[in-house]
A = this chain, B = another copy of it.
Amino acid sequence: MRNAILAALCVVAAAVLLDACASLPKKSLTGPLVIAQQGSFFVGGRDVHSETLSTLPNFAPIGTITVDQIYVHYQIPVDARHHPITLVHGCCLTGKTWETTPDGRMGWDEYFVRKGYPIYVIDQAGRGRSAANPSIIDAVKLGKTPPDQLPAIFSAGHEAAWVIFRFGPEYPKTFPGMQFPLEAQTEFWKQMVPDWNPSLPTPNPTVPALSELALRLNGTVLVSHSQSGIYPFQTAALSTKGIAGIIAIEPAACPNANGDLQPYTKMPILVLFGDYVDQSPRWAPRLKACREFVEATNNAGGRGELVMLADIGMPGASHMVMHDKRSLEVAEWLSAWIERKLEQ
């Protein structure tokens, strides 16, 4: 008992010391990581009755499952002093995107925790640890539903992803100076998972779930990537409550510049793009549309910014900015942007 009290006091003393450390301006990116609280939970979800949950004798076909929820993993540093950040991965990927880079360096999840941000990493609805619904697949297997009704589940092959992620103009060529750690590409390909998104309702269930999460966090910066780029904007269109800011990393889409822009005038917005965009028929028009959106939003009274990493001294960024060799430089710049736009 005495030892337990001593141990508790000892940890409290260490925590007080660490808290004092935190008041020093520069946060350490090495050494022990001190977490006040961590864990995981789900947001959203709905019950679905199905008669084709299984084609196996030992699992009943009839029953209720819960789908459309999002898995959320969080860490809150002991010296949290910034807005919480919610990290939303892109196509064919999961929350793993934000963790350890393919070449084994610290991910943005830990970086921001070390900088004093509570971090919430999600798996989009229907992917990773967020359940998909196999009912139609089993209905087709059982001959109850025609094959063309199967969900359009797809995987991005290495060769296609190579071009989409702008490692180079075509597989396996690389853009000169490109910063993605290609020496670790075999580890990177293992991150990619089948994407069920085309089979999900519209708006994607991740959107209302992000809204619920933002309300619960009472003010979070929604950070999207690629295919999820439109989600924080769609979330803001549902309700701007709880959204402290939006950072769209290489969004596949921005809201229509000719649509209702009022929701997007309520918070600071950053649209961030890497390099070689003009050389990509897929990305060049997206960049153009995002430029038009930001300009229109600012004309409507908004506080939007579109930044090309090459223009701020960080050339060579691929689409996987959070994995690039300069990933932590970019994260540091983002942290400064958040402090400048949201906290001054």
- In the bound complex, residues from chain B placing their C-beta under 8 Å from that of A8 are 28, 30-31
Q: Which residue on B lies nearest to A146, using beta carbons?
A: B147
Q: Does A63 contact B (CB under 8 A)?
A: yes
Smallest beta-carbon distance A63→chain B, Å: 2
Q: Does A218 contact B (CB under 8 A)?
A: no
CB within 8 Å for A192 and B131 given contacts A107-B39, A141-B152:
yes
Q: Does A128 contact B (CB under 8 A)?
A: yes
**How many Å lie between the Cα of A27 and that of B133 in the bound state?**
42
- In the bound complex, residues from chain B placing their C-beta under 8 Å from that of A123 are 129
As for how many copies of this chain the complex holds, the number is: 2
- In the bound complex, residues from chain B placing their C-beta under 8 Å from that of A38 are 33, 110
CB within 8 Å for A25 and B10 given contacts A129-B96, A194-B133, A198-B56:
no
**How many Å lie between the Cα of A30 and that of B35 in the bound state?**
11
User: Would you call A12 and B34 a contact (CB within 8 A)?
Assistant: no
Q: Does A193 contact B (CB under 8 A)?
A: yes
Q: Does A15 contact B (CB under 8 A)?
A: yes
CB within 8 Å for A20 and B10 given contacts A33-B34, A54-B154, A132-B193:
yes
**How many Å lie between the Cα of A133 and that of B156 in the bound state?**
11
**How many Å lie between the Cα of A15 and that of B28 in the bound state?**
12
Q: Which residue on B lies nearest to A51, using beta carbons?
A: B157
Interfacial residues of chain A within 190-249, with CB under 8 A of chain B in the complex:
190-194, 198
Q: Does A71 contact B (CB under 8 A)?
A: yes
User: Would you call B56 and A73 a contact (CB within 8 A)?
Assistant: no
User: Would you call A158 and B64 a contact (CB within 8 A)?
Assistant: yes
**How many Å lie between the Cα of A165 and that of B36 in the bound state?**
33
Q: Which residue on B lies nearest to A98, using beta carbons?
A: B40
Q: Does A94 contact B (CB under 8 A)?
A: yes
Smallest beta-carbon distance A9→chain B, Å: 9
Q: Which 7 A-B pairs have the closest CB atoms?
A: A63-B157, A10-B21, A39-B100, A54-B154, A42-B190, A141-B150, A4-B26
Q: Which chain A residues have a beta carbon within 8 Å of chain B's beta carbons?
A: 3-4, 6-8, 10-15, 17-18, 20-21, 24-28, 30-36, 38-42, 45, 47, 50, 53-56, 59-60, 62-66, 69, 71, 73, 78, 94-96, 99-100, 104, 106-107, 110, 123, 128-135, 137-138, 140-141, 143, 147-148, 150-160, 186-187, 189-194, 198
A73-B99, A131-B194 known; 15 other A-B pairs, CB under 8 Å? A7-B24, A8-B31, A10-B17, A14-B14, A15-B32, A39-B100, A53-B155, A53-B157, A59-B154, A66-B190, A123-B129, A131-B192, A132-B194, A140-B150, A141-B148
- Residue pairs across A and B with Cβ atoms less than 8 A apart, 28 shown, are A7-B21, A7-B25, A7-B26, A11-B21, A13-B17, A14-B17, A14-B18, A34-B35, A35-B35, A40-B99, A41-B100, A50-B157, A53-B157, A60-B159, A63-B156, A63-B158, A65-B158, A73-B99, A128-B129, A131-B193, A131-B194, A133-B194, A134-B153, A134-B194, A138-B152, A138-B154, A141-B150, A141-B152
